[in-house]
Amino acid sequence: MIEIHDLHKSFGSLEVLKGINLKLEHGKVLVIIGPSGSGKTTLLRCFNLLEVPNRGSIVLGDTKLDFTNVKKVPQKSVLELRRKTGMVFQSYNLFPHMTVLGNVMEGQITVQKLPKEDARKRALALLEKVGLSEKADSYPHQLSGGQQQRVGIARAMAVEPEVLLFDEPTSALDPELVGEVLKVIKQLAAEGMTMVIVTHEMKFAADVADTIILMDNGHILEQGTPQEVLVHPKSPRALQFLNRLSGEAE
């Protein structure tokens, strides 16, 4: 279970997160939507401390971190949180000097200290799951964007995180490659993987989300089931955002 309480984050004098509260049960999928610059990426990056919040707290399983009046988060807590989360990046960020298999094995070997053979077995199983068994010995630059992103998902899964974080996993992809990545994410959702996903793909969001939050200007504007947020939003601003999106889609 993840619980975030009164989270604040500023870059210099710019306050980007202005008190975020949310809860996510194990096995559920949370989708974050909202206009550009509303703080979606920043919030997601707070989950694994790529950004360190200025105030508030994060609880993930038995790891509890309070940032209020804390100067420097202890390295031990940072690592603990990062080992319980996996992240899939918009621009994949695969390790270009390692093969696909190497990318997926790396965290298991360096971080979890697994024997090579065990790491290889788990990596191959994950590659099969994302449909890339035959690419195990390729290098990332030899793959299409969609394939690279699926490797990114396998890499994030390999360290057996409690939560997977996605930051617009398909927005760098050519339209015809979006489907193959979304399919993998949907499959993970069906298997009960806990996930937090930032996306602009509204149809996908409606399909996969248990909860959607709509962010605006550092606040959570709407929070609820896809039905509640996408079909019956309460605030006029949310309605405006959703209308603009569906306008663009047509």
Partner 1 sequence: MDDRKIQILIDTLLPLLKAGVAFTIPLTLVSFAIGLLLAVLTALVRLSSWRIPKLIAGFYVWVIRGTPLLVQLFIIFYGLPAVGIILQPFTAAVIGFSLSVGAYSSEIVRAAIISIHKGQWEAAFSVGMTRGQALRRVILPQATRVSIPPLANSFISLVKDTSLAATITYVEMFRTSQQVVATTYEPLLIYSEVGVIYLLFSTVLSTLQNYLEKRFDRYSAS
Ligand X SMILES: Nc1ncnc2c1ncn2[C@@H]1O[C@H](COP(=O)(O)OP(=O)(O)OP(=O)(O)O)[C@@H](O)[C@H]1O
Nearer to partner 1, 141 or 236 (CB): 141
Nearer to partner 1, 93 or 187 (CB): 93
CA distances from 66 to 41, 54, 58, 92, 142 (A): 20, 10, 7, 30, 43
Q: Give the Cα separation of 77 and 75 in Å (integer).
A: 5
Return the exposure string of 90-107: e unless at least 16 CB atoms fall within 10 Å of the residue's CB, then b: bebebeeeebbbbbbbbb
Site membership for ligand X, residue 38 (CB under 6 A) = yes
Site membership for ligand X, residue 170 (CB under 6 A) = no
Which 8-state DSSP code applies to residue 141? Answer: G
Q: How far is the CB of 159 from partner 1 (least distance, A)?
A: 5
159 binds, among partner 1, Mg ion, ligand X, none (CB under 5 to 8 A by kind): partner 1
Question: Binding to ligand X (CB under 6 A): which residues in 39-78?
Answer: 39-42
Contact window for partner 1 (CB under 8 A) among 22-30, 83-91, 219-227, 242-250:
83-91
Among 27, 37, 61, 179, binds ligand X (CB under 6 A): 37
Among 41, 48, 147, 194, binds Mg ion (CB under 5 A): 41
Which 8-state DSSP code applies to residue 113? Answer: -
3-state secondary structure of 10: strand
Which 8-state DSSP code applies to residue 172? Answer: T
Residues that bind Mg ion (CB under 5 A): 41
